[in-house]
Structure 1
Amino acid sequence: MPHVAKTGDISVRVAVSFLPEQSAPALGRWFWSYHVRIENDGRESVQLLERSWRIIDGEGRLFEVRGEGVVGETPLIRPGESFDYVSGCPLETSSGEMSGSYHLVSESGAVLEVEIPAFDLVGPGSATA
């Protein structure tokens, strides 16, 4: 079930999956992948310049990740189009949560802070599984 956040004319949809084949619970490693779709319903192209993630593990530890673009790209998203990518998140606990924002700029120079919806990371054996 996708998680959705809409900021102005930009929608961000996230679907998350636990990856048991890349996890090793006995070694304190759990791994999730997440598929993001950024949709531009506006009248101007927008370019994604930066990302900012807040990751909280099952013990309440906060990790902040900031960086240029996503998966090595700074995509230009034209009106009516979308950009999809898949990335991953390792944790040392069987559960956690992620949220964040993207920093975009429109073709007219407007700066947009676009919300990434919060989503839970739930692995086998976690209290919320």
Structure 2
Amino acid sequence: MADTLALLFPAEATTGAITVRVAVSYLVEQSAPEQQRWFWSYHIRVENNGENPVQLLARHWKIIDGHGNVHEVRGQGVVGEMPVIKPGESYDYVSGCPLDTPSGSMSGFYQLVDDQGDAIEAVIPKFELTS
């Protein structure tokens, strides 16, 4: 199972009992290189391997384009949700990232809280955006 997950989600990071896995895809049909626009989708899986439920409250992304420019994105929840992830369960979502360069990278962290009120800052592993 672990080998299958590594193939499906090549980037992963574990912080305490939280594992974040990422798979990324370049979307040719949504990109327009002649207009300096490249687009990727990314599939995230947040796994709770702990003993308490956790709620994902916020995200902080660091997006670096092919010129080395850094764009930071912060916001509540993910894709309009603030999911509660029970012990032994996971939460998946898909989102996207446009850039004006044909390559870049993304990394960051999620802010979560468990049912005891303890804050968790779970690392989102760095993943490459390549067209």
Q: Does 1:77 align with 2:85?
A: yes
Q: CA deviation at 1:6?
A: 0.1
Q: Which runs of 5+ in 1 are unaligned?
A: 124-129
One-letter amino acid matched to 1:83: Y
Q: CA deviation at 1:84?
A: 0.1
Larger helix percent: 2
User: How do 1:17-32 residues align onto structure 2 when only pairs under 5 Å count?
Assistant: 17-32=25-40
CA RMSD of aligned residues (A): 0.5
- Name the residue aligned to 1:66: 74
Q: Which runs of 4+ in 1 moved over 4 A?
A: none
Q: CA deviation at 1:81?
A: 0.3
- Normalised by the length of structure 2, the TM-score is 0.93
- Normalised by the length of structure 1, the TM-score is 0.95
Cα distance in 1, alignment partners of residues 122 and 88 from structure 2: 17
Cα distance in 1, alignment partners of residues 76 and 110 from structure 2: 10
Cα distance in 2, alignment partners of residues 37 and 62 from structure 1: 24
2:106 alignment partner, one of 79, 98, 103: 98
Q: CA deviation at 1:107?
A: 0.2
Q: CA deviation at 1:31?
A: 0.1
One-letter amino acid matched to 1:10: I
Count of residues paired in the alignment? 123
Cα distance in 2, alignment partners of residues 87 and 64 from structure 1: 16
State the percentage of identical aligned residues: 63
